[in-house]
Amino acid sequence: MQISVSFRNVDPSDHLKGYAENRMARFKKYMEEPIEVHLVLSIQKFRHTADVTVSANGFKIKAQEETGDLYSAIDMVLDKIEKQIKRHREKVKEHKPEGNIKSQPEVKKSREDGETEEDTPQIVKTETVLAKPMDAEEASLQLKMSNNEFLVFTNSKTRLINVLYRRKDGNFGLIEPTS
């Protein structure tokens, strides 16, 4: 688990950092590695703010709390994050697939022949994406919770790269390679 603690308008304190890291260690029992936690502690006049972002297995959870004390802000924001993580875990458990992934309809692409060189689209941007292992139901849940148009993942049953994409009608399409 990677934890980073940043201080804004606050003198860095090893005691505050250690307190926050000890409190965040309990996230390990709810989530699988790799986990990245970013905590930002700030003070503006009498407002003590704690912002937390947790990233793990392709999803992000964010929370913020303001109180009169940094320690209570840390406690409150981490409690809020823990509730969100538990809720996410329950959703993932509820959406596990009942049948085989092969029973889902295949998505096939068709291509027109006779395209000229000028009509062929050019690659103008390349992105590198980490394909995390998960099943199709978990991938659809993560795509549903995100604003992305597609999700690249490694199918945990077939060990092949799959792409889940958002269709214009609001449903999802799944692209599976054949061997």
- Domain map of the chain by residue range? 2-88, 95-101+126-179
Distance CA 149, CA 75 (A): 35
Residue with tokens 């958002």: 166
Q: Report whether CATH 3.30.160.100 matches the domain 2-88.
A: yes
Contact 166, 172 (CB under 8 A): yes
pLDDT of residue 179: 67
Contact 51, 62 (CB under 8 A): yes
Least confident span in 35-44, 78-87, 96-105, 137-146:
96-105
When pLDDT is averaged across residues 142-158 and rounded to a whole number, the result is 88
pLDDT tens-digit readout, 104-121: 444 444 445 555 555 677
Distance CA 123, CA 120 (A): 10
Of 2.40.30.170, 3.30.505.50, 3.90.1150.10, 2.60.120.10, which CATH number belongs to 95-101+126-179? 3.30.505.50
Could you tell me which residues come within 8 angstroms of residue 134 by beta carbon, excluding any fewer than 6 positions away? Answer: 57, 58, 142, 153, 154, 155, 156
To the question of pTM greater than 0.85 for the whole model, the response is no
Distance CA 60, CA 51 (A): 13
Residue (of 70, 5, 15) closest to 38 by Cα position: 5
